[in-house]
Chain A
Amino acid sequence: EVQLVESGGGFVQPGGSLRLSCAASGFTFSDYWMHWVRQAPGKGLAWVSLINNDGSHTRHADSVKGRFTISRDNAKNTLYLQMNSLRAEDTAVYYCVRDPPHCSGGSCHSNGFDPWGQGTLVTVSS
Chain B
Amino acid sequence: QSVLTQPPSASGTPGQRVTISCSGSSSNIGSNYVYWYQQLPGTAPKLLISRNNQRPSGVPDRFSGSKSGTSASLAISGLRSEDEADYHCAAWDDSLSVWVFGGGTKLTAL
Interface of A toward B, CB cutoff 8 Å: 35, 37, 43-47, 50, 59, 61-62, 95, 102, 109-119
Contacts of B101 in A (CB 8 A): 44-47
Instruction: Determine whether B110 belongs to the interface, using a CB cutoff of 8 Å to chain A.
Output: no
Task: Give bound CA distance, A117 to B43, whole Å.
Answer: 10
Is A95 a contact partner of B51 (Cβ separation < 8 A)? Answer: no
Which residues of the other chain, A, contact B100 by a CB distance below 8 angstroms? 47
Report B48 CB to chain A, min CB distance, Å.
9
Contact of A45 (CB < 8 Å), options: B32, B37, B51, B97: B37
Is there contact, CB below 8 Å, between A113 and B37?
yes
A/B interface sample: 26 pairs, CB < 8 A: A44-B88, A44-B101, A44-B103, A44-B104, A45-B37, A45-B101, A47-B90, A47-B98, A47-B99, A47-B100, A50-B99, A59-B97, A95-B45, A102-B51, A109-B32, A110-B92, A111-B51, A112-B35, A112-B51, A113-B45, A113-B47, A113-B90, A114-B46, A115-B46, A117-B44, A118-B44
Chain B facing A: main interface SS: strand
Among B32, B98, B102, find the residue whose CB has the most chain A CB atoms closer than 10 A. B98
Could you tell me which B residues sit within 8 Å of A by CB distance?
2, 32-33, 35, 37, 44-47, 49-51, 56, 86, 88, 90, 92, 97-104
Q: Which residues of A contact B32 (CB under 8 A)?
A: 109
Partner of B88, one of A45, A50, A102, A110: A45
- Which residues of the partner chain A approach B45 to less than 8 Å between Cβ atoms? 45, 95, 113, 116
Nearest A residue to B48 by beta-carbon distance? A112
Within 8 Å CB of B2, what residues of A? 44
